[in-house]
Amino acid sequence: MANQQLFLGIDCGTQGTKALILDATSGQVLGHGSAAHTLISGADGRREQDTAQWLDAFTQATHQALASAGVDGQAILGLSVSGQQHGLVLLDDQGQVLRPAKLWCDTESTPQNDRLLAHLGGESGSLERLGVVIAPGYTVSKLLWTREHHPQLFNRIASILLPHDFLNHWLTGRHCSEYGDASGTGYFNVRSRQWDVQLLQHIDPSGRLQSALPQLIEAHQPVGRILPAVAAHLGINPDAVVASGGGDNMMGAIGTGNIQPGVITMSLGSSGTVYAYAAEPAVSAQPSVATFCSSSGGWLPLICTMNLTNATGVMRELLELDIEAFNALVAAAPIGAEGVCMLPFLNGERVPALPHATGSLFGLTTTNLTRANLCRAVVEGTTFGLRYGLDLLRTNGLEAQSIRLIGGGSKSPIWRQIVADIMDTTVICTEQSEAAALGAAIQAAWCHSGSPDSLADLCERCVKLDPASETRPIAEHVAASQKAYECYQQYVATL
């Protein structure tokens, strides 16, 4: 195929790295690859990862994707990286990683976040100054935590990078960041699109952090060319251009064609997210709505819940169920799980804003404590959190005819029906459930094209909806789901 234009999209997530090969000419995905990561967990909310695992997984997933596509890596014209947001990677002046990366789901720096939030003047002060309310998962409190817990190491910081920035640095040797992922640091102003240097000065008056900041680039700009040694290691073209990349939500937006108003993307991954494109930074008065920048030149009002497939996974392990058996039990239980309600806040929770919460089960009786009801309750409980967030976005003026569903949970027909009923909105999946990796590949093609206007054409050609997955709300289900949701809200209010 002489007219193929091949691009590599990488998504480095919490659980693993995924790679796909996109032909931007036909809009077809030709091959996939993946490799797993492990977590370093501690009782105090520590959630970290060894960055060397990311590099190994990147390499493995790329080799697999090239093999499954049956293409020569020398034909790859460009690549782009989607990364888990908020994570902190620290390098010394030799470019060496100083310690494991603290991740988005790490809550060890909650006390530091509380103090920084107070310094900013609370939620309203943070919103006014940054356009977002800093949360424990954000990068900024991890910097203060490092200063307090690892002072020697803190004094060696020469570069502060997010996970996707670190991978770009590995690929090109360059330190830079783009606006979408930078929005989740807590030291970036989403309205003016600039670093908040004063906040970093407050953490460390020496100016060290300020000088360690990466340079900001636009979403359609390249980071640079891939380093020859890394190209050889990955088996791809040494002339391949490395696009800016971005956070997983920003790349997921591109990968679901969510680049103009009217579309809602909902991701059912380890965490749950709901977001929609906005042309203006209309910052919500609701602290839980993060008005991040998009990686397509606009903004991306977003809510994120900390617990989704991690909670359903725990329930499956407890009851020793595979996915099929779990889904069958969810389907067997009635809406509202006969009164069993789960608040699935196993990681604490961001939406609703309960960082110190733990999970709980309510409404148990001798007759309703069944495996089916427990399975149903965990799926409903996680989905109610997304409904709570969607309502916040709706009060901020968001309207959409349908929801584009992505992430592991979207593969389950029963979960799709539950989402449609709880949200009272039609849901449809994209053909590619790996929307972040697809978005990265599309962004690489956009960068390679050199035309800021070509993104809409690329999304039109490469993002395909799966008509078989379309799920409409059923009127009597909607009413029953609303009742169950109101019970959930009452239980949340007791916290």
Q: Strands 215-217 and 176-178, how do they pair?
A: parallel
Rounded to whole angstroms, how far apart are CA atoms 117 and 97?
Answer: 28
Active site residue 92: no
Tokens of 201: 């000065």
**What are φ and ψ of residue 227, in 5° steps?**
-65, 140
Amino acid identity at 465? L
Rounded to whole angstroms, how far apart are CA atoms 424 and 320?
Answer: 32
**What are φ and ψ of residue 362, in 5° steps?**
-125, 160
Rounded to whole angstroms, how far apart are CA atoms 293 and 464?
Answer: 24
Alpha-helical regions (H) of 23-162: 51-69, 110-120, 122-130, 139-149, 151-154
Catalytic residue among 106, 165, 248, 421: 248
Rounded to whole angstroms, how far apart are CA atoms 213 and 198?
Answer: 13
Q: Taking Cα atoms as reference points, which of 320, 354, 287 lies closest to residue 122?
A: 287
Phi-psi category of 336—alpha, beta or left, where left has phi over 0 and alpha has psi -120 to 50? left
Catalytic residues: 248
